[in-house]
Amino acid sequence: MTAQAGRITVCASAKGGQGCTTIAAVLSVLAAQNNQPTLLLDTRGDAAPTLGVSDPAPAGTFTEAMANAVEPCRHLRVATIAGDQIDSDATTELERLTAAGHRVIVDTGTDHDVLHRFDPLRPQRLLVTRPCYLALRRAIGVPFVPDHVVLISEHQRCLTERDVSLALALPVTSVPYDPAIARAIDAGLLAARLPRCLANAIAGLPV
């Protein structure tokens, strides 16, 4: 992964349980490990626990969400905000951050209604999915155009990376499913001890 300063990446999924928050968290940690000031903006509310830190205090505005952000590791802040609070003030502040060289990762999960709010920032859009028929059917119908697909590959699944790429007509990067990832999240150690298998797979992602 070559993290680009000033870039905004939005991670979304077609249905729940696809690994969207994990991918957003890992992208954020890797950018921070490159000594890049990074913001993980979470519209779902589960990114902070995924990284082993307490939830930020509730916020009624984007400014409050930024003030309440938590820091799971050096160079990384996690802010939680409801999708309907992404307004013009929020996008102006995000634009200011990226202009100053910050990396911004957004986890929207299945909240597709919030995606258009980031349009003025011209973000990169990642669709996170698993190789199952139901997920693929829903991925085909998402109300946005992804730039890239992150496929959580599982050996027991019948569908392959090529199948997914052909069905969605998009480039695909496969990330292997590994129990070590779940163990790291369960132990609250994802930010401190990022599983090598996950870091190596994400390294090939064009973000």
Does residue 126 lie within any of the structural domains? Answer: yes
Does residue 147 lie within any of the structural domains? Answer: yes
Q: How high is the mean pLDDT of the chain?
A: 91
According to DSSP, residue 157 is labeled -
Show the CA angle centred on residue 30, arms to residues 68 and 154, nearest 5°.
110
Helix, strand and coil content of the chain, in percent to the nearest 5, comes to: 40, 20, 40
φ, ψ for residue 39, nearest 5 deg: -120, 125
According to DSSP, residue 117 is labeled G
What is residue 148's three-state secondary structure? strand
Does residue 206 lie within any of the structural domains? Answer: no
Q: Domain with 83 in it: what CATH number?
A: 3.40.50.300
Does residue 133 lie within any of the structural domains? Answer: yes
How high is the pLDDT of residue 100? 94
How high is the pLDDT of residue 138? 93
pLDDT in tens, 95-154: 999 999 999 999 999 999 999 999 999 999 999 999 989 999 999 999 999 999 999 988
What is residue 151's three-state secondary structure? strand
What's the rounded Cα separation, in Å, for the pair 100 and 98?
Answer: 5
Does residue 97 lie within any of the structural domains? Answer: yes
* pLDDT > 60? residue 2: no
- E strand segments, the chain: 8-13, 38-42, 70-73, 76-80, 103-109, 124-129, 148-153, 172-176
Mean pLDDT of 15-34: 93
How high is the pLDDT of residue 182? 86
Say if residue 41 is exposed, middle or buried (CB neighbours under 10 Å; 0-12, 13-18, 19+). Answer: buried
pLDDT in tens, 52-85: 999 999 898 999 999 999 999 999 999 999 999 9
* pLDDT > 60? residue 193: yes
How high is the pLDDT of residue 4? 59
What's the domain range around 18?
8-201
Does residue 2 lie within any of the structural domains? Answer: no
Does residue 124 lie within any of the structural domains? Answer: yes
Of the chain, the percentage scoring pLDDT greater than 70 comes to 97
Mean pLDDT of 145-169: 90
Count of domains in the chain? Answer: 1
How high is the pLDDT of residue 204? 74
Quickly state the pLDDT bin for 6 (edges 50, 70, 90). low
How high is the pLDDT of residue 5? 54
Show the CA angle centred on residue 156, arms to residues 151 and 157, nearest 5°.
50
φ, ψ for residue 96, nearest 5 deg: -65, -40
Contacts 24+ apart (CB under 8 A), 149-158: 149/173, 150/11, 150/19, 150/23, 150/126, 150/175, 150/205, 151/175, 152/18, 152/19, 152/128, 152/177, 153/177, 154/130, 157/130, 157/131, 157/132, 158/131
Mean pLDDT of 28-53: 94
How high is the pLDDT of residue 30? 92
